[in-house]
Amino acid sequence: MAIRVVQWATGGVGKAAIQAVLAHPDLELVGGWVHSADKHGRDLGELVGTEPIGVTATTSVDEILALEADCVVYSPLLPREDEVVALLRSGKNVVTPVGWVYPDPDNCKAILEACEEGGSTLHGTGIHPGGITERFPLMVSALSAAITHVRAEEFSDIRTYNAPDVVRHIMGFGLSPEEAMAGPIMDLLAGFKASVRMVVAELGFDIDADIETVQEVAVATAPIDSPAGVIEPGQVAARKFHWRALVDGTPVVAASVNWFMGEAQFDPPWSFGPQGERFEVEITGDPDVRLTFKGLQPDTIEEGLVRNPGIVVTANHCVSAIPYVVAAGPGIKTYLDLPLLAGRAAPQLGLGRAR
């Protein structure tokens, strides 16, 4: 029987997850929770721009909790632990890109109790964090010995992110440097600390107690057009974030994010460098190994505003994990607890195709 899946929230990741579920031969979409009243009662296929699929969206949490389903892809803008606890307690496994990639069990007692009560599993995943920062560095690290440093880093043009309010008011673009540095984004990116700790723990570094956190900003030197409005001179136009685990003050594991509004007219004059937008994983050891991911950012701003590959791969990573999470025992399961995850063949090439 197909694994029955519910999609929670239908923003960019949620829409891409619905498309990924529909393309997956082992999954069946059976429900969807939506935040806004204007989406209530509409067909989920309509919400993602396809033909109707006979599954209706609802704003009712109780309807979702009562639904017969095996797994929920939980992808709201901001997570709420009480919602996740309720889903797990109802017997539904949860896969999510908004947290719990490598949680501290001491801070997850309610979730663990809900898993036990519902016989359910929680898995945090995604792309960055949720893949580039921990899953892929750990895989690549097996190619090297005597490792001294691990780096995971993103270089992205944030003009392709089609969420203007988030870009301005949460990410802090278009604000003064002081407002941006004091904004909520560092707290919302706390998952990077957990990702760093996963790599540290698995590789066995004896790190100092705290993860070093650093943020930097560059301001516009001329007006920059963006989907979040014009970035005026003196306003934040580029941001860098770093999370570093240290041994005796020396970085050994680092995760970094470079988010720019293009790469011109900045002070300081930052750029992506000759390789352009990308994700990188680098292991320093015997030998050094570097892995560069291309294709996770759109070729143009216009393409990104319609369908951003970074959003799509975040959703795909969640959906690909569903069969493995459903098969796992109750509790919180990280990449360290699950087998190798894989995607599935396109329907026209898979085992179930018509001959």
Question: Residues 60-93: pLDDT tens digits?
Answer: 999 999 999 999 999 998 899 999 999 999 999 9
**Domain boundaries, given as residue ranges, for the chain:** 3-127+312-349, 135-295
pLDDT of res. 197: 96
Could you tell me the pLDDT band of residue 256, with boundaries at 50, 70 and 90? very high
pLDDT of res. 163: 87
pLDDT of res. 133: 96
For the stretch 91-116, pLDDT in tens is: 999 999 999 999 999 999 999 999 99
pLDDT of res. 355: 64
Q: What is the CA radius of gyration of the chain?
A: 21
Domain 135-295 has CATH 3.30.360: yes
User: Residue 68 — φ and ψ, nearest 5°?
Assistant: -80, 105
How is residue 83 written in tokens?
């919602």
For the stretch 274-331, pLDDT in tens is: 999 999 999 999 999 999 999 999 999 999 989 999 999 999 999 999 999 999 999 9
Mean pLDDT of the chain: 95
Neighbours of 76 (CB within 10 A): 17
Indicate whether 347 pLDDT > 90.
Answer: no
Domain 3-127+312-349 has CATH 2.40.180.10: no
Give the angle 70-103-149 at the CA atoms, nearest 5°: 125
CA-based nearest residue to 60, from 34, 78, 83:
34
Q: Which amino acid is at 267?
A: D
Q: Do domains 3-127+312-349 and 135-295 have the same CATH topology?
A: no
pLDDT of res. 354: 65
